């Protein structure tokens, strides 16, 4: 999405969402560990690194305990308020700051941490960030409940499952986006992002995008 529309839409969103964001900031400051934002290094366009903003939903040292960068359903590292914020995806809203700063766009491939990025094939790693990463995108929509998906596995390490099952398909989806990128597609993906929040089991994207890479699991 063009920079002009990124600024326009994110500015409007920030204005409209402020009655929701302010109480959340106050609640986070008064609960848990008193942290409002969680800043994490992510890989951006052309491989440049930046700090991604999220509402703090987990213990401060969570990347170094338990399953590390992989979060499971019912993960004990998630704070009480964090469970609600993660389930509703409200924890992602501070990324509007990243959009305004120019780190990400509204729509694009999700910016990943280095370890997760390494799970992609070499081809995907070389091409995925030729476009600016986004707040949402086809990968985010299809894997909207990734935590539940990983939590459902029984006999496989979650990191290996991500590397062997999720990452290959997610990479195909992000490459599909690059091949079909357009303003209309971005608008469709923004709509679908809101749609799947209310209709979690919906696969409307499969009806809209007939040439989407087929899911194998």
pLDDT per position as a tens digit, 158-171 = 888 888 889 999 99
Strand partners, 134: 105
Which of 75-79, 112-116, 151-155 reaches the highest mean pLDDT? 112-116
Region of poorest pLDDT, from 24-33, 56-65, 87-96: 56-65
List, in sequence order, every residue forming a beta bridge with 51; answer none if it has no partner.
41
Kindly tell me the number of DSSP H helices and DSSP E strands found in the chain. Answer: 11, 4
Each domain of the chain, given as residue ranges in start order, spans 3-208
Q: Which of 116, 121, 20 is nearest to 67 (CA)?
A: 116
**pTM for the whole thing?**
0.84
Give 168's contacts (C-beta < 8 A, 6+ positions apart): 121
What integer best gives the mean pLDDT of the chain? 88
CA 65 centroid distance within chain:
21
pLDDT of 152 reads 74
Q: pLDDT for 59-74, tens place per residue?
A: 776 665 655 666 656 6
Please tell me the distance from the alpha carbon of residue 116 to that of residue 167, in angstroms, as a whole number. Answer: 8
Kindly state the tokens that stand for 79: 């704070």
Q: Mean pLDDT across the stretch 66-87?
A: 74
Residue 79 is predicted with a pLDDT of: 81
Average the pLDDT over 175-190 and give the result: 94
């Amino acid at each position: 999405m063009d920079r002009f529309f990124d600024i326009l839409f994110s500015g409007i969103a920030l204005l409209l969402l402020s009655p929701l964001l302010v109480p959340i900031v106050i609640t986070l400051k008064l609960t848990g560990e008193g942290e409002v934002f969680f800043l994490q290094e992510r890989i951006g366009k052309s491989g440049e690194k930046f700090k991604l903003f999220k509402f703090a939903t987990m213990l401060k040292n969570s990347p170094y305990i338990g399953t590390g960068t992989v979060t499971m359903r019912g993960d004990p590292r998630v704070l009480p308020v964090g469970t609600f914020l993660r389930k509703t995806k409200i924890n992602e809203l501070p990324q509007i700051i990243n959009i305004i700063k120019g780190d990400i766009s509204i729509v694009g491939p999700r910016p990943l941490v280095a370890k997760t990025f390494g799970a992609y094939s070499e081809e995907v790693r070389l091409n995925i960030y030729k476009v600016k990463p986004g707040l949402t995108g086809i990968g985010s929509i299809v894997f909207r409940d990734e935590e539940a998906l990983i939590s459902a596995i029984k006999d496989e390490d979650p990191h290996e499952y991500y590397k062997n099952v999720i990452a290959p398909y997610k990479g195909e989806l992000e490459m599909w986006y690059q091949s079909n990128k357009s303003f209309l597609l971005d608008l469709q993906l923004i709509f679908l992002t809101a749609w799947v929040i209310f209709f979690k089991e919906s696969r409307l994207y499969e009806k809209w995008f007939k040439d989407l890479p087929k899911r194998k699991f």
